[in-house]
Structure 1
Amino acid sequence: MELLINIDVDDLERGIGFYETGLGMRLARTLFDGTVAEMHGACAPVFLLAKPPGTFATTRSDSRRDYARHWTPVHLDFVVESLEPAIERALGAGAELEDWPRDFDWGRQAMLSDPFGHGLCFIEWKGDGYGANAER
């Protein structure tokens, strides 16, 4: 199975800039008449999809795209070598810090949002990371 991550953005160039500058990804190619940017640098490709605000999210829903901060049960976690420099880099590129770094037995985590309202976390592993809590 292959995993592809798709993220709606209202401004493709700004999205490319954030994911390059803020997260260290790189533009691999553009697709579909320049409306999709394929970004590399993570374990799975991230596709930024140019979708104007106010457009319908699906044909079966009245929900419309809104790029203000929103909550969804799905978000991206980016594992970083060092939390503070990653946070500063992302903030400098337009992210917002939503929760100060917290310490856990598996490592440290900071919660942010990208300039398009999508939640994301930075994780700095300690030891075996989540493996420290493995039950089987």
Structure 2
Amino acid sequence: MSHVALNLVVLHSNDLERAQRFYECLGLQFTRHRHGSGPEHLSAELGDCVFELYPLSPNSASTLGTRIGFSVPSLEPVITTLSADPSTIISPPQDSPWGRRAVVSDPDGHRIELVQA
């Protein structure tokens, strides 16, 4: 049986800079990229996976229904930083079978599950 691993996640955003600031609160570090004549976008390497933010254009499909999760070293400081905008916190930190977790909303409305590593 072959090994299957996730290597790319792409979300579309109405405002790349605003989305970048949000995801940087989680600890991601972005670089700007452009492939050929495609749009400029942001890319962050997370181990073997690349997380990219592309601008939402009239021709691109919405990724709003996509839910993703990140493991963060410490959940409380992230939640404290994100709490500046109370509408960001969907489900506050609580213990679960998967560890301490919370659900937040990024600036575009994507739901993001955070689990303390």
Q: TM-score, normalised by structure 2?
A: 0.74
Residue by residue over 1:85-128, the C-alpha shift from the partner in whole angstroms, topping out at 9 and shown as x without a partner, is 12123344897000122212331110110011100011124xxx
Superposition map of 1:21-60 within 5 A: 22-32=25-35, 35-41=40-46, 43-52=48-57, 55-58=58-61
Contact 2:32/2:40 (8 A) holds in 1: no
In the other structure, the counterpart of 1:134 is none
1:7–1:47 Cα contact (<8 Å) kept: yes
> What secondary structure is seen at the aligned counterpart in 2 of 1:100?
strand
C-alpha change, 1:89 and 1:8, in structure 2 (3 Å) is same
Identity %, equivalent residues:
27
Alignment of 1:64-83 (within 5 A): 65=62, 72=65, 74-83=66-75
1:25 maps to a residue whose letter is: L
Contact 2:7–2:48 (CA under 8 A) maintained in structure 1: no
**Which letter maps to 2:50?**
P
Larger radius of gyration: 1
Pair 1:34–1:14, CA change in 2 (3 A) = farther
Task: Give the Cα–Cα distance (whole angstroms) in 1 for the partners of residues 27 and 116 of structure 2.
Answer: 16
Unaligned runs of 5+ in 1: 59-64, 126-136
More strand by share: 2
1:18 alignment partner, SS class: helix
Aligned residue for 1:45, secondary structure, equals: strand
Query: Alpha carbon RMSD of aligned pairs, Å?
Result: 2.8
The one of the two structures with greater contact order (alpha-carbon pairs below 8 A, sep at least 6) is 2
User: Normalised by the size of structure 1, how large is the TM-score?
Assistant: 0.65
